[in-house]
A and B are shown apart, each in its own frame.
Chain A
Amino acid sequence: MDLDWLVEFLFTIIRLSTPLIFAALGAVISRKAGVLNLALEGMMLVAALTGVVFSAITQSWIVGLLTAVLGSMLMATIISYCFLVIKTDLYLTCIATNMASIGGTVFVMFLLTGSKATTAEALRSMSIPRIDLPLIKDIPYIGDVLSGHNLLTYVSFAMVFFAWFLIYKTRIGLRMRAVGEAPEAVESVGISVPKIKYISFLLSGVFAGFGGAFMSMSYVTWFSRDMVAGRGFIGMSIMNIANASPVGSLGASFIFGGADATAKYLQLQNLPTDLVFMVPYAVTIIALTVISIVRIRREDRIVHGKSLRRKKATEKAAE
């Protein structure tokens, strides 16, 4: 009986990790080219709304998903234009975009549906299908955890590999890493640095688009005010903790997915909801602190560890 509870809990973790994985990958790929996408939150919001609206109009989840991603890419293009062409400050532009997205999505929703809270009543939007994995679904327990997720969950896993491959195995990835580290070196051989930055930012937009679509087109089929709820920012923390590694981000996403899932379960336990809702964000702060301490310790060990050991050795020798 206990095991059923665990299976359900693990399933929830994977489900709740999905948007975080997309957000983290969006952060990773932009970070690599030195243009950290702070606007992931806003992009995901816009994608979530776009997906709902267009899937409702066309009654096709595929169109909904595609337009969600396109909406997010359009935002990436606008931000890129601002900071690459008219040279605004990237981070201020991203923050402004986030603010505009929170208000803007509500405004558009109100124009279309007359509601400022949710599109649930007015728009009949579509959901992206769930997938049962052949063979795996028949394995007891494990099948229940891994199979039956939304299509986008599996896409997110594939994207982790895709991002890794892109960054470390392709020419554009090599150039992105180079731009992120030494843009003047890349410029000196005649490669356009703004172009590489744009491509990286655009890809970040693609990941954010998938993440947004997952929010409004998988387990729920409506858009509501501020439904991304900081997941774009948590994605950035995940990237930071994983040291901008795509595979590491996958692991770190599960930690935050776990926190999210825990919050969901605690909600059922008669605890004050406001306190419970705080859990994922509190975990973010704790995780960032812990990882920072670990990094400082590691550095200290490298610097002082050797000398300490040597000191002890000489003391021993003296005896």
Chain B
Amino acid sequence: MAIEMLRMQNITKVYPNGFVANTDVSFSVDQGEIHALIGENGAGKTTLMKILFGMEDCQTGKIFIQGEESRFSSPLDAIAKGVGMVHQHFMLVPSLTVAENAVMGIEPLKNGIFDFEEAVRMTQAIADKYNFTIDVRAKIKDISVGRKQIVEILKVLIRGGKVLIMDEPTAVLTPQETDELFEQLKMLKEDGHSIIFISHKLEEVMRLCDRVTVLRRGKVVGSGDVSELDEVKLSRMMVGRDVILKIDKPLSEPDNILVEVKNLTHRSREGVLQLDNVTFNLRAGEVLGIAGVEGNGQSELCDVIAGISSYEGGSVSINGQTTMGMTVNQIRETGLAMIPEDRMKTGCSVDLSVKDNIMANRIFSKEFRKGLFLNRKKINTLVDRYIEKFQIACNNRNQLVRYLSGGNIQKVVVARELTSGANVIIANQPTRGIDVNTTEMIRKLLIEMTRENDMGVILVSADLNEILEVSDRLMVMWKGQIVAIFPQADEVDEETLGEYMLGLKRMPVEELEALI
């Protein structure tokens, strides 16, 4: 019989604005167990974990740690009881070393002076114990995202943490880093640690976790052993209806060339070659997928085409106009729209209303002016129509985007970009970190746009499922180069794709040229 490590009982949380985040939620984690907490965005997972970690209080309910009732009024209390959190956004100081970050708050002293060597020794000891390979003297700013996550885990372990809360840990990781992380989490589990794994990637839950609790609209709608469940059952619990994971799409009929990219070369500010002689075309009526392990130039390619970054050599032309020397706005006017990678930073302005965000790319148009002033009536009608059409769940058009859930924020971005009148759409990670329903909606919209409106879509995604399902044609990028082009994305299997993505294989130049 497993020993119960932690139990949350009948938790109810109502925010001051009346929003009920959790209703009568109970769940428990055993020692040496990985327990998945899944649900769509806004289902109350994060709130529940904030309560457990002492960052929020709750109206009713109790928390038991190893059978003992505990009340946490701050994260400090939670840490003292062995509960640690690995935040989704890393809580690390970039210019300090791994060791300094790990011991922050419990710094070893020698004669009243910070003992750096002891900090290194402490961190190294924990890293060795759990087989984490990491240079503890390296500075945070010099290490990869995967390593940063290790540092976050080290921070919990070094404080004697027994329960790790992992808030969507794989969202920022490459597939390889994810595999590595899972190995390490399993090792921690063997050692008797308990892990709460928050995710909405069902495949990962099936692979890693022992038990699962599903939240929907703040309530527990199901739980059980992972071995007795499958992805279909889980997704049914999460959204309350069957989510179609397969997308039926009409055949693509590629037409004239919309975007022509020739020998494009780009370097980062640090001088690293990020785009190396990239050449390809985008045609009307197709979704061109760009696959690749993150950081191989896909995002840079999007930014360069959109004019956000400059380029060193080569050319880009959109609808027959070369974009050299154009401003971002001028490039947009040639017929380009973009769903950026980071919806919170570049996708929209979170402190503006839904209305302002939707209007952002067309507010200068004469259409919305009446004399010197804006035509409020016209604007409001249009915005309300889009809110309805794109099913944006908000109180009204004047609500600040900040208060929407991730999926709804993305819908605002999508609504703005897809209705801008452009015929080329760049979608960079359009469904990252959002709920299943919205994901499905966005994917369908992208396909619909190409089939019905004769538009072209460039889709960059880390989600292999997405890239294979949605794309018509598929390119693979590796170290800033295009290493493969598949004319039929649905005929590619994941293994072949993986070999190209990891740089194990590449198509000969002649073959690539023929496929452009």
A303 located at the interface, meaning its Cβ lies under 8 Å from any Cβ of chain B in the complex? yes
Comparing B219-227, B266-274, B443-451, the segment that makes contact with chain A is B266-274
Comparing A38-46, A149-157, A188-196, the segment that makes contact with chain B is A188-196
Interface size class of B (residues with CB under 8 A): 20 to 34
B79 located at the interface, meaning its Cβ lies under 8 Å from any Cβ of chain A in the complex? yes
B95→A189 contact, CB < 8 A: no
Q: 1/0 contact trace for B96-112 toward A, CB 8 Å?
A: 10001100111101001
What residues of chain B lie closer than 8 Å to A173, measured between beta carbons? 114
What residues of chain B lie closer than 8 Å to A302, measured between beta carbons? 269-271
**Docked CA distance A304–B270 (Å):** 9
When C-beta atoms are compared, the residue in chain A nearest to B141 turns out to be A181
Instruction: Tell me, rounded to whole Å, the shortest Cβ–Cβ distance linking A311 to chain B.
Output: 10
**Docked CA distance A190–B80 (Å):** 10
A303→B94 contact, CB < 8 A: no
| A182-B93 contact, Cβ under 8 Å, with A170-B114, A174-B107, A190-B74 | yes
| A174-B105 contact, Cβ under 8 Å, with A185-B93, A307-B271 | no
What residues of chain A lie closer than 8 Å to B100, measured between beta carbons? 174, 178
Instruction: Tell me, rounded to whole Å, the shortest Cβ–Cβ distance linking B413 to chain A.
Output: 25
Q: 1/0 contact trace for B144-156 toward A, CB 8 Å?
A: 0000000000010
A190→B92 contact, CB < 8 A: no
What residues of chain B lie closer than 8 Å to A138, measured between beta carbons? none
Please tell me which one of the listed residues B79, B85, B91, B107 contacts residue A185 in the complex, with CB atoms under 8 A apart. B91
A114 located at the interface, meaning its Cβ lies under 8 Å from any Cβ of chain B in the complex? no
A306 located at the interface, meaning its Cβ lies under 8 Å from any Cβ of chain B in the complex? yes
A231 located at the interface, meaning its Cβ lies under 8 Å from any Cβ of chain B in the complex? no
Please tell me which one of the listed residues A175, A181, A187, A304 contacts residue B94 in the complex, with CB atoms under 8 A apart. A181
**Docked CA distance A318–B191 (Å):** 61
What residues of chain B lie closer than 8 Å to A181, measured between beta carbons? 93-96
Please tell me which one of the listed residues B91, B95, B112, B269 contacts residue A188 in the complex, with CB atoms under 8 A apart. B91
Residue from A170, A181, A182, A305 whose CB has the most chain B CB atoms within 10 Å: A182
B267→A189 contact, CB < 8 A: no
**Docked CA distance A191–B105 (Å):** 6
**Docked CA distance A71–B92 (Å):** 37
Beta-carbon contacts under 8 Å, A220-247 to B: none
Instruction: Tell me, rounded to whole Å, the shortest Cβ–Cβ distance linking A232 to chain B.
Output: 27
A184 located at the interface, meaning its Cβ lies under 8 Å from any Cβ of chain B in the complex? yes
When C-beta atoms are compared, the residue in chain B nearest to A168 turns out to be B114
B378 located at the interface, meaning its Cβ lies under 8 Å from any Cβ of chain A in the complex? no
What residues of chain B lie closer than 8 Å to A305, measured between beta carbons? 271
B267→A186 contact, CB < 8 A: no
What residues of chain B lie closer than 8 Å to A307, measured between beta carbons? 267, 271, 312
Beta-carbon contacts under 8 Å, A169-223 to B: 169-171, 173-175, 177-178, 181-182, 184-191
What residues of chain B lie closer than 8 Å to A306, measured between beta carbons? 271
Residue from B85, B93, B112 whose CB has the most chain A CB atoms within 10 Å: B93
A303→B114 contact, CB < 8 A: no
Q: Which 3 A-B pairs have the closest CB atoms?
A: A190-B76, A189-B105, A188-B91
